[in-house]
Structure 1
Amino acid sequence: MNLFADIRTRVIACLDQMVTEGTLPEGLSTAAVAVEPPRDPAHGDMATNAAMVLAKPAKMNPRAIADALAAKLLTDPMITVAEVAGPGFLNMRLDPSVWQGVVKTALTDPTYGQSSLGQGQKMMVEYVSANPTGPLHVGHTRGAVFGDALARLLDYAGYDVTKEYYINDGGAQVDVLARSVYLRYLQAHGQDVEFPDGTYPGDYLIPVGEALKEKVGDKFIDKGEQFWLEEIREFATAAMMDLIREDLAQLNVTMDNFFSEKSLYGTGLIEKAIAELDAKGLIYRGVLEPPKGKMPEDWEPREQTLFKSTEHGDDVDRPVQKSDGSWTYFAPDIAYHYDKVQRGFDQLIDVFGADHGGYVKRMKAAVSALSDGKVPLDIKLTQLVKLYKNGEPFKMSKRAGTFVTLRDVVDQVGPDVTRFHMLTRKNDAPLDFDFDKVLEQSKDNPVFYVNYAYARVNSAVTKASAFAKVDDATLAGVDLSGLTHDAELNVIKKLAEWPRLVEIAAKGHEPHRIAFYLYDLASDFHALYNRGNDETALRFVQESDSDTTQAKIALIRSVAIVISHGLGILGVTPAEEMR
């Protein structure tokens, strides 16, 4: 049930009647006709822009269209008021029974809020994809939470979602990892070692070095790296991926698939992807223009193999193969996304850190070229997270050596608080994470405020159960006609927005909208609860009137159900009680 979609269907039906009757000309597109909450709730329950968007193509005065449409809508029993405002906006008020029906639906339909928007389209969400050289840090935490919540949201909206991690194990950084593990291996044999600049000195490699000693004994002692580099690289990468999987599990994040960059090399996959672009006339030999701004000292014009990315929206063409014949960093990324296209995904989403902003246009150009524009790629950038504790920047982790880890954060506040707070800002906005404030029990702390609403509902239900049947099946059948107070209707109207909000968030790939909505719903609920302190008739539990109590409990149970659905999308477990 999507009440806004239902009313829009009724608006379109009225417009079709107006065409049949000759009030409107034939051939008008109603795609831009919308039904949404009015900017000012005092103006009504819903508003439509129908007259405004149809006036120009119909060559009519928008007010004339709105007046005729209002007359049609008033014949619908669901609509009690249809008023024209301004140049042609149309505000509507719905019969109270319509709002009461929202409560019944939330209580009886376990799919309330879910959508068929995706229509089963295959959607790939790639996120985290950190270098397998150490534990995940706080920046990865935000990307992991955002990507996972986005995948859950898209699944809820009817897409067939695959969650994938791209293992960057094909570059020089894994050689550095292997050398760093070798030093810990020597240390495990009792040798004194020093970590040169550029290696990884974090304590997390100590157990890896010890495990390597246990596996190979003294096999690599006093041996040149040509004897051990490849073997230790594979051993260390596997150990780091185990560590990363454990980190993700701390956040309740699981991947459907892990794809190794290394699998692209020596298998012909890179060559095949570049050949595909070449067959489309998009690969050529050439020399790039010098970089804009200050000229790097080591820059010199070199003939390279280039991809005509400018033909697919990029600013400049991009090199895929260096003058010495080796592949650029971009080439395996092209091959990886070619593989995604070949796997039959209808849409692709990549979640990158803020430092990958310069990669957006070239990657979109590659996917556009490889799929002939048929597979859209959306790249979401997650901005930096600043950590505070006791008003001061949070100190770096000794375990990691250079940064604050995901586990540092989760150990401080838990996975649920971490996940919710990471979604209280849009992904491309910077985020402050204050360990004290995210645990604060106040209205200013969204995760507390939403959970407090859920716990308050549970408390009221428990209290009411002492003298009335309050299971959802029973509540769905009670008389709700007494739920007419403005504070009660405000809550119901917010519940009615849930299916619409899910679709808006899914279309925009914006899971933070779910967190914002839950805060607003909790605010309306708490406002109703607080009104009951002064107006006894609004209290949820009326011990002398079981029928009224059941109606009010039905309302707040529907609030708890929607909160539970929303928190599920965010990957957060609702708090049954607050202590």
Structure 2
Amino acid sequence: MSDTKTLYAAFAAKIDAVLSALEAEAVLPPDCPRQNVSVEPPRDPSHGDLATNAAMVLAKQAKTNPRALAEKIVEHLTRDPLIESAEIAGPGFINLRLADTAWLEELAAIAKLGAEYGRSTIGAGKRVNVEYVSANPTGPMHMGHCRGAVVGDALASLLEYAGHDVIREYYVNDAGGQVDVLARSAFLRYKEALGHDIGAIPEGLYPGDYLKPVGEALAKELGDRFVDEPEDEWLPIFRAQAVTAMMEQIRADLALLGIKHNVFSSEAALQMAGKPEQAEKWLREHDLVYDGVLEQPKGKVLDDWEPVELPLFRSTRFGDDQDRPIRKSDGKWTYFGADLAYHMQKAEGADELIDIWGADHAGTVKRIKAAVAALSEGQGKPIPFDVKLVQMVQLLRNGEPAKMSKRSGNFVTIADMVEEVGKDVVRFTMLTRKPDAQMDFDFAKVVETSKDNPVFYVQYAHARICSTLRKGAAEGLEPSDADLSGLGADEMALIAQAAQFPREVEAAAKAREPHRIAFYLYDLASAFHSYYNLGNDDAQKRIILAQDPALSAARLFLSVQIGQVLRNGLALLGVDAVEEL
């Protein structure tokens, strides 16, 4: 990436230089801590372009009041030709108004950096493991998986863009009872493919037609050798084959959304490698697992309940409401026990862990965070660990619940969605709400061509820019920064909105919230549409003015850079920037 500083970084550096000058003048003490000094837009845009809290933060160290220190800072800042004015507000905030030259320099930075504009190094190469989707390999991807898949993938892209080394991981739950159910369901389809009448699919097995090709492939490969064999003869074979087939289907479904993982971790392989036993041994050595008896479930009277001694993790030490078993009474690992070992494995190769889970897993968050805290602390390498909960999506069609997919049996698949409305619509829509907020996905509304549809509105802004450039070219006008002197207040306001992008990227990355980029793109698109529409009321404000080639070239140059920022943001979300609608 170029070393060109974008606007907020440049002005943060200017204020830092002023503070260094004040240290040299003995106004501030040497090595005064500045980590809490901020440079950001004022809450009220009428107050200026930038605001800093430097005087408020440092006045105590300077042994003076904030306004007095602010006066010293302002005295230095007003010497800068890029600062039109610096005013002290309230108890000591400093509001800055920038000269047009500052905005034009930012426009030049966008043009110079292109696709790199907004990229950051705040991640400093730290390795972050983002685990997302991790659906049981028992069928096609459906809407229950879609939102978490998009949020996780966009977060991974955002963190990479902000300078992190990202591992995109999928945990394959191929060791539990659900894969035995899958194997039995595939066995039925295997018999069906060999001409046997299997009748109605029994309760408890997977009924979807998606298993028919699996049964056909098994029949072709194995013939009828297992038709009359006992279950223990064929179950392991059918389980492995069915899981492999389902994971191929899942990869294909995710590819429809532009999603690819670079690590697939198998729960079965984890257990075969003895990882849970290793985790239990380590936890016992550190007095974090003990043999104890669980209390009878509160509020329930169970006639057949008997106290059973189980290995329990001391999760109450870490804020959980009770200690949790890591094994069942039959010696098999609980979901929690297996997850604990899996996270221990992930922590070995990362500096930070992020899990994207469905909201139905909310009750598990506290205990798994406790386990990771214990493991990482005990290993002398505390690992930051965050769980992002994603609410379910309600599917509608013109306000009515959407019909289910025939192929799947009881749900709408991702393939169904992408086929009907397209990858870009699905991805962008999934990021138009905070992940923990409820969401409706109405097939009719997400394809509306209106301002109320953010997907259309943002893509239309980019398409409108491309159309304007084509129109200019047809009239012999090309974008140029040779003479930008004709750009005025309307253009500066638009550049100011575009200049927010690097800051938004860093804020979204720090918060681990990719939806902020979708919100920002909507605001930038809205700003461009408003700017474009000025020409509807005043012909002199049209982007293309045949009678003024120089101004037209400047406005086209500005439009190109707004399009660049839109493309950069959309690319972060995995959405294409269309040139025509």
Aligned with residue 94 of structure 1, among 98, 121, 124: 98
User: Does structure 2 retain, via aligned residues, the 8 Å contact 1:25–1:58?
Assistant: yes
Moved over 6 A (4+): none
Bigger Cα displacement from structure 2, 555-564 vs 29-38: 29-38
Which amino acid in 1 is paired with 2:415? R
Structure 1 residue 31: Cα displacement: 1.2
Paired position in structure 1 for 2:56: 52
Shift of 1:246: 1.1
Task: Give deviations 1:279-334, integer Å, cap 9, x for gaps.
Answer: 33312122234444546665543221112233344343221123443322212211
Who is 1:70 aligned against?
74
- Structure 1, 309-318 or 238-247: larger mean CA deviation: 309-318
CA contact (8 A) 1:454 1:574 kept: yes
8 Å CA contact 2:134–2:172 kept in 1: the answer is yes
What is the CA–CA distance in structure 1 between the aligned matches of 2:524 and 2:306, rounded to whole Å? 59
Residue number in structure 2 paired with 1:301: 307
Alignment CA distance shift 1:292-1:396 (3 Å): same
Query: Would you say the 8 A contact 1:468–1:550 is kept in 2?
Result: no
Deviation at 1:520, TM superposition (A): 0.2
Aligned to 1:132: 137
Aligned-partner Cα distance in 1 for 2:272–2:388: 31
Match of 2:391 among 371, 383, 386: 383
Q: Deviations over 1:115-152 (max 9, x none)?
A: 00111111111110000000111020111111111111
Give the deviation of 1:56 after TM superposition: 4.5
CA displacement at 1:58 relative to structure 2: 4.6
CA contact (8 A) 1:270 1:331 kept: yes
Q: 1:306 is paired with a residue of what secondary structure?
A: strand
Q: How far, CA to CA, are the matches of 1:283 and 1:414 in structure 2?
A: 49
Residue by residue over 1:227-274, the C-alpha shift from the partner in whole angstroms, topping out at 9 and shown as x without a partner, is: 211111111111111111111111111111211110012322211122
**Separation in 2 of the partners of 1:301 and 1:5?**
62
Q: Which residue of 1 aligns with 2:483?
A: 479
Aligned to 2:206: 200
The residue that corresponds to 1:175 in the other structure is: 180
Structure 2 partner of 1:8: 12
Instruction: Calculate the TM-score normalised by the size of structure 1.
Output: 0.95
- Asked if the contact 1:468–1:546 (Cα under 8 Å) also holds between the matched residues in 2, the reply is no
1:545-560 correspondence to structure 2 within 5 Å: 545-560=548-563
Q: Which of 511, 520, 538 is the equivalent residue of 1:508?
A: 511
CA distance in 2, matches of 1:63, 1:294: 64
Q: Residues 24 and 299 from structure 1, CA distance in 2 versus in 1: closer, same or farther, beyond 3 angstroms?
A: farther
* CA 1:492–1:298: 2 relative to 1, 3 Å: farther
Q: Per the alignment, in what secondary structure is the counterpart of residue 338 of structure 1?
A: helix
Quote the residue 1:336 is aligned against. 342
The amino acid that maps onto 1:427 is P
CA offsets 1:485-526 (integer angstroms, 9 cap, x no match): 2x2112100111110000000111111011000000000000
Match of 2:413 among 379, 387, 405: 405
Q: Which amino acid aligns with 1:275?
A: K
Amino acid in structure 2 at the alignment position of 1:368: A
Within a 5 Å distance, the mapping from 1:318-357 to structure 2 comes to 318-342=324-348, 344-357=349-362
Contact in 2 for aligned 1:305/1:323 (Cα 8 Å): no
Conservation of the 8 A alpha-carbon contact between 1:102 and 1:495 = no
Alignment partner, residue 186 of structure 1 = 191
Aligned counterparts of 1:166 and 1:393: Cα–Cα separation in 2: 31
Deviation digits for residues 508-548 of structure 1, max 9, x if unmatched?
11110110000000000000000011222321112222221
Q: Per-residue displacement from partner, 1:545-564 (whole Å, max 9, x unpaired)?
A: 22211111111100110111
**2:149 alignment counterpart:** 144
Greater mean alpha carbon deviation, residues 284-293 or residues 32-41? 284-293
The one-letter amino acid paired with 1:248 is L
Which structure 2 residues correspond to residues 424-503 of structure 1 after superposition, within 5 A? 424-468=432-476, 470=478, 475=480, 477-485=481-489, 487-503=490-506
Q: TM-score, normalised by structure 2?
A: 0.95
Residues 511 and 227 (structure 1), Cα distance of their counterparts in 2 relative to 1, 3 Å cut: same
Asked if the contact 2:208/2:409 (under 8 Å) is kept, the reply is: yes
Match of 2:431 in 1: 423
Alpha-carbon distance in structure 1 between the residues aligned to 2:282 and 2:485: 65
Mapped to 2, the partners of 1:557 and 1:314 lie a distance apart of 53
* Percent of residue pairs identical: 54
Corresponding position: 1:529 with 2:544: no
1:123-272 to 2 correspondences below 5 Å: 123-193=128-198, 194-272=200-278
- Post-superposition shift, 1:52? 2.3
- After TM superposition, the structure 1 stretch with the greater mean CA deviation from structure 2, 292-301 or 353-362, is 292-301
| Partner SS, residue 95 of structure 2 | strand
Which runs of no fewer than 5 residues in structure 1 stay unpaired?
Answer: none
- Quote the Cα distance in structure 2 between the aligned partners of 1:62 and 1:457: 46
> What is the alpha-carbon distance in structure 1 between the residues aligned to residue 286 and residue 33 of structure 2?
37
In structure 1, give the amino acid aligned to 2:242. Answer: A
CA distance in 2, matches of 1:31, 1:513: 24
The answer for unaligned runs of 5 or more in structure 2 is none
- Tell me how far 1:443 sits from its aligned partner: 0.6
Deviation, 1:26, is 4.5
